[in-house]
C-alpha cells in the first residue's frame, strides 16, 4: 500500500493528527498548530524553542506543573525566569525588568488555581513593546470562551486533556501560533523530540471538540450557580469565581471571555485542616503551597449540576465523596521538592515567593533547590 501523500512516518506527520491540528488552529483563529502528547509537552516545546540565557516572565499564579517545569527543568537548563508578584500590569513590568534578555511572557488566565484574570490585550502589548513573544495558556477558558490570538497574543498552549477533549480518556496538548513562522521551531521540536499524540488520541480529542460549545455553556452555568450558592455559606470564608461581581477581574473577564469558565475556588474557614476534612474525612492528605496552607480548594463545575440544584435534587453524599476523591486524585501537585536529576547549565530563578515586593534571586547550580510554592 502506498503511503498517503506527505505522510511517510507517523512521528513526522499523520493524517489524523493533521486533522486535529487544523481543527484547533481554526478554533483559535491561528495560522498553525502543533499537537503534543500532553499539555506539559506543549509547554515544554515552547520553552525549549528558547535558548539558554533567554528570559521568561511568568504569571504570579500558575498551574503547578508549569511552575515545576520552569523551576526544576528550564531554569537549570539555562532559562532565566522571573515571576510577577501579583496580577497587576506593573508587577509584570517589574518581572520583565528583572530579566537580562527578556524573550517570552507566559500568561495563564484564568490562573490555576486562584482564578485571577489577566489582561491579555495589555500584557501582549507590553510583551510586544519589550520585543518579547507572548504565550497564553488557554486551558481553563478553552477557545470557546477566550481567543487570545485575537487579543494580541502570539502563541496559545492548551492541555487538551481537559475541557477540549472532555471525556477524561486522553492526555494531550497543543500549541497554536498567530503565524506559521512562529511555529516553525516548535514544529521542528515536535518531530525532533517526539512528544506527539497517537492517532487514536487525536481522534478522541476531535470527538470531544464536537461538543465543546454545549459542554462549556453548561460548565459556566453550573459554576455560576455553584459559586452563588456558596457565597455566605457556613464554613466558607471566600468564594473565587470570575462570574461573581465580587471578583476583582469580573469586568475584565466579561470583556475578554464569552463566559466565566467552569472552575470555582473556595477558601474555607479553618485553613488547611478544614480543606483536608472537606475532601475526605479521615484521609491524611498533604495540602501544600500557598493555597493549601490557606485552605483553598478548587471545585470543578463537573461536580455540580445547576439543573439538579434548581430541582432541589443535589448529588447524593456518596457521589459527592467519590467526586471529591476523584478530583483530589486529579490534583496531585506539590512534587516540587524533588531534586532535579540533570541540570547541566546554571540558570537564574527570580522567585515569586517573596511577598515583600523585592524579587529574590537565586542562582541555580548542579541541583535545583529553589522555593516551590505549588
Catalytic residues: 11, 63, 137, 162
Q: Can residue 143 be called a binding residue for ligand PLP (CB under 6 A)? A: no
Q: What whole-number distance in Å separates Cα of residue 265 and Cα of residue 152?
A: 28
- The stretch near ligand PLP (CB under 6 A) out of 5-13, 35-43, 119-127, 237-245 is 35-43
DSSP β-bridge partners for residue 36: 173
**Residue choice 134, 161, 206, 265 for contact with ligand PLP (CB under 6 A):** 161
CB-based contact 277:271 (threshold 8 Å): no
**Residue choice 171, 175, 252, 257 for contact with ligand PLP (CB under 6 A):** 171
Shortest distance, position 330 Cβ to ligand PLP, whole Å: 8
DSSP β-bridge partners for residue 174: 35, 158
Shortest distance, position 88 Cβ to ligand PLP, whole Å: 21
Cα separation values, 117 from 228, 241, 256, 262, Å: 19, 10, 10, 14
Residues 100-119 as x/- pattern, contact with ligand PLP by CB under 6 A: --------x---x-------
**Residue choice 110, 148, 152, 173 for contact with ligand PLP (CB under 6 A):** 173
Task: Tell me the residue ranges of DSSP E strands in the chain.
Answer: 32-36, 55-58, 80-83, 102-108, 133-137, 155-159, 173-177, 236-240, 263-268, 296-300, 347-351, 360-364
Q: Can residue 156 be called a binding residue for ligand PLP (CB under 6 A)? A: no
- The stretch near ligand PLP (CB under 6 A) out of 17-25, 60-68, 96-104, 362-370 is 60-68
Q: Can residue 137 be called a binding residue for ligand PLP (CB under 6 A)? A: yes
Residues in the chain: 374
31-66 per-residue burial string, b: 16 or more CB within 10 A, e: under 16: ebbbbbbbbbbbbbbbbbbbeeebbbbbbbbbbbbb
Which residue lies nearest ligand PLP, judged by its C-beta? Answer: 39
DSSP β-bridge partners for residue 173: 36, 159
- The stretch near ligand PLP (CB under 6 A) out of 33-41, 267-275, 337-345, 347-355 is 33-41
Q: Can residue 63 be called a binding residue for ligand PLP (CB under 6 A)? A: yes
How many amino acids of this chain bind ligand PLP (CB under 6 A)?
Answer: 15
Collapsed DSSP state (helix, strand, coil) of residue 82: strand
Shortest distance, position 23 Cβ to ligand PLP, whole Å: 17
Q: Can residue 262 be called a binding residue for ligand PLP (CB under 6 A)? A: no
Kind of pairing between the strands at 32-36 and 173-177: antiparallel
DSSP state of 1: -
Q: Can residue 78 be called a binding residue for ligand PLP (CB under 6 A)? A: no
Binding interface with ligand PLP (CB under 6 A): 38-40, 63, 65-66, 108, 112, 137, 139-140, 159, 161, 171, 173
Amino acid at each position: 500500500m502506498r503511503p498517503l501523500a506527505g505522510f511517510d512516518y507517523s512521528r513526522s506527520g499523520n493524517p489524523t493528527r493533521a486533522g486535529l491540528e487544523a481543527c484547533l488552529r481554526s478554533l483559535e483563529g491561528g495560522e498553525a498548530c502543533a499537537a503534543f502528547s500532553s499539555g506539559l509537552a506543549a509547554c515544554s516545546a515552547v520553552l525549549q524553542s528558547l535558548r539558554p540565557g533567554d528570559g521568561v516572565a511568568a504569571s504570579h499564579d500558575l498551574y503547578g506543573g508549569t511552575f515545576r517545569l520552569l523551576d526544576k527543568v528550564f531554569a537549570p537548563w539555562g532559562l532565566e525566569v522571573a515571576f510577577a508578584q501579583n496580577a497587576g500590569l506593573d508587577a509584570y513590568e517589574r518581572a520583565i525588568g528583572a530579566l537580562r534578555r527578556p524573550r517570552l511572557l507566559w500568561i495563564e488566565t484564568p490562573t490555576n488555581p486562584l482564578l485571577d484574570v489577566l489582561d491579555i490585550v495589555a500584557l501582549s502589548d507590553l510583551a510586544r513593546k519589550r520585543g518579547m513573544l507572548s504565550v497564553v495558556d488557554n486551558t481553563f477558558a478553552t477557545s470557546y470562551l477566550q481567543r487570545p490570538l485575537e487579543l494580541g497574543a502570539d502563541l496559545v498552549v492548551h492541555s487538551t486533556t481537559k475541557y477540549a477533549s472532555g471525556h477524561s480518556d486522553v492526555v494531550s496538548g497543543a500549541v497554536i501560533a498567530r503565524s506559521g513562522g512562529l511555529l516553525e521551531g516548535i514544529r521542528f521540536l515536535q518531530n525532533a523530540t517526539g512528544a506527539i499524540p497517537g492517532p487514536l488520541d487525536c481522534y478522541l480529542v476531535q470527538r470531544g471538540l464536537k461538543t465543546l460549545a454545549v459542554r462549556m455553556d453548561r460548565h459556566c452555568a453550573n459554576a455560576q450557580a455553584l459559586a452563588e450558592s456558596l457565597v455566605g455559606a457556613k464554613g466558607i470564608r471566600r468564594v473565587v469565581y470570575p462570574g461573581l461581581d465580587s471578583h476583582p477581574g469580573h469586568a475584565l473577564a466579561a470583556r475578554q471571555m464569552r463566559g466565566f469558565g467552569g472552575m470555582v475556588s473556595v477558601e474555607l474557614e479553618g485553613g488547611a485542616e478544614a480543606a483536608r476534612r472537606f475532601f475526605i474525612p479521615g484521609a491524611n492528605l498533604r495540602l501544600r503551597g500557598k493555597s493549601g496552607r490557606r485552605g483553598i480548594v478548587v471545585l470543578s463545575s463537573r461536580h455540580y449540576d445547576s439543573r439538579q440544584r434548581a430541582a432541589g435534587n443535589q448529588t447524593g453524599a456518596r457521589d459527592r465523596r467519590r467526586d471529591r476523591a476523584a478530583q483530589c486524585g486529579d490534583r496531585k501537585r506539590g512534587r516540587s521538592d524533588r531534586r532535579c536529576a540533570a541540570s547541566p547549565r546554571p540558570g537564574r530563578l527570580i522567585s515569586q515567593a517573596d511577598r515583600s515586593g523585592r524579587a529574590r534571586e537565586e542562582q541555580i547550580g548542579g541541583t535545583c533547590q529553589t522555593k516551590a510554592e505549588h
